[in-house]
Amino acid sequence: MKISLLTDAPKHNLALMKISEWHKANGDEVKLNMPLWKADKTYASILFEWNSSKFLADEYGGPGYNFEPLNINCRPDYDLYNLDFSLGFTYRYCPRNCLFCKVTRMEKDKGHHSIWDFHLPNYKKICLLNNNTFFDPQWKETFEEIWEAKLIVIDENGYDLRLIDEEKAAFLKKTKWDNGHDPHFAWDRIEDERKIIRGLEEINRVGMKRKSICVLIGFDTTLQEDIYRCQKIHDMGHDPFPMLYKETAYTKAFRRMIYLRNYRKDGNIEKSWKEYKK
């Protein structure tokens, strides 16, 4: 059979990688993102809702398509994207149920998984797609397996600052991270300030210096709350990284202003915003 795989994912797509592995094991020919190829069966895994009507397929799935899973339980086909690292989840679920996020509605698997469910020994790097690693009761096992295999970690989804304590910060510090893929953190909601500050204090305590801290703007915060969060992050030795929920003239201008880092001259983000030529 000829199998066509279509996706709008900008990097890799784990579901299609598993589908590819299964079909290749059964002797099928598989091609990625070749919509004009005359295939016997076509799968479309859609990441963004606005692309849901752009693909013609026999089976659909993904976050952009009614949260329907499009998955096969096997190891991924790493040749599909020519990756030099393994890719997968050791814990998929996140119970936060944030209004701006689909994960709680999408991911129902609350089980712990070993890295060896998807990792191949010939790879020196591993990319974890976990949505909230530290909610996993067995999170230590994930790190211990990574350390034992002497792996370098690529972080894509980040770690929840509200859950960081002294022990978790120490585990993050001990782990080897790929260059340019250090642990990501975020401050999304203004009401989480106390927990966020405590988490930042812990990563500072173990010596994790100048991290990019994502700041959600354009959702439910005011300009003053956006400035306040960015100022706090800067004052604690890290760089705010605005993430736009909605692109407006304000949110795009605010992001550009932060990216210039002019506030580093005197440490005053509010002053930099007032002086910024929008």
Average pLDDT value for residue range 13-19: 94
pTM metric for this prediction: 0.90
Three-class secondary structure of residue 115 per DSSP: helix
Residue type at position 99: L
Looking at the fold, whether 68 and 124 belong to one and the same domain comes out as: no
Are the CB atoms for 56 and 28 separated by under 8 Å?
Answer: no
Distance set, CA 55 to CA 14, 47, 123 (Å):
18, 12, 33
Residues facing residue 244 across a β-bridge: 217
**Assigned domain for 78 exists:** no
- Mean pLDDT confidence for 44-63: 89
**Residue 60 belongs to a domain:** yes
**With 80 as the cut, is the pLDDT of residue 65 above it?**
no
Residue 83 in this model has a pLDDT that exceeds 80 = yes
d(CA 136, CA 131): 10
pLDDT score of 67 more than 80 = no
Residue-range definition of the domain harbouring residue 146 = 83-184
Domain check: are 165 and 90 in the same one?
yes
User: Side-chain half-sphere of 244: how many Cα atoms within 13 Å?
Assistant: 12
Question: According to the model, what pLDDT value does residue 104 have?
Answer: 67
In three-state secondary structure terms, 83 is: coil
pLDDT tens sequence across 115-164: 999 999 999 999 999 999 999 999 999 999 999 999 999 988 889 999 99
- Asked if residue 62 and residue 104 are part of one domain, the reply reads no
Residue found by looking up tokens 């001990």 in the block: 174
Do the domain assignments include residue 12? yes
**Cβ atoms of residues 139 and 133 within 8 Å:** yes
Q: Give the pLDDT confidence of 221-274 residue by residue, as tens digits.
A: 999 999 999 999 999 999 999 999 999 999 999 999 999 999 999 999 999 999
The answer as to whether 77 is a domain residue is: no
Amino acid at 91: Y
| In-domain check, residue 88 | yes
Domain boundary among 30, 46, 72: 72
In terms of domains, do 90 and 135 share one?
A: yes
Coil, strand or helix at 273: helix
158-198, pLDDT tens digit by residue? 899 999 999 999 999 999 999 877 899 999 999 999 999 99
CATH number of the domain to which 179 belongs? 3.30.750.210
H or E element at residue 125: strand 125-128
Does 263 reside within a domain? yes
pLDDT of residue 68: 63
Query: Is 205 part of any domain?
Result: no
Whether residues 104 and 68 fall in one domain: no
Side-by-side strand order, sheet with 239-244: 185-187, 212-217, 239-244
Residue 98, pLDDT above cutoff 90: no
The pair of three-digit structure tokens given for residue 165, joined into one six-digit string: 């304590």
| Domain final residue, candidates 141, 168, 184 | 184
Q: Are 201 and 228 in contact (CB under 8 A)?
A: no
Distances (CA, A) of 181 to 32, 52, 89, 153, 238: 26, 30, 17, 8, 16
Give domain status of residue 129, yes or no. yes
What's the number of domains the chain is made of?
Answer: 3
Does residue 170 share a domain with residue 98? yes
Is 129 in the same domain as 154? yes
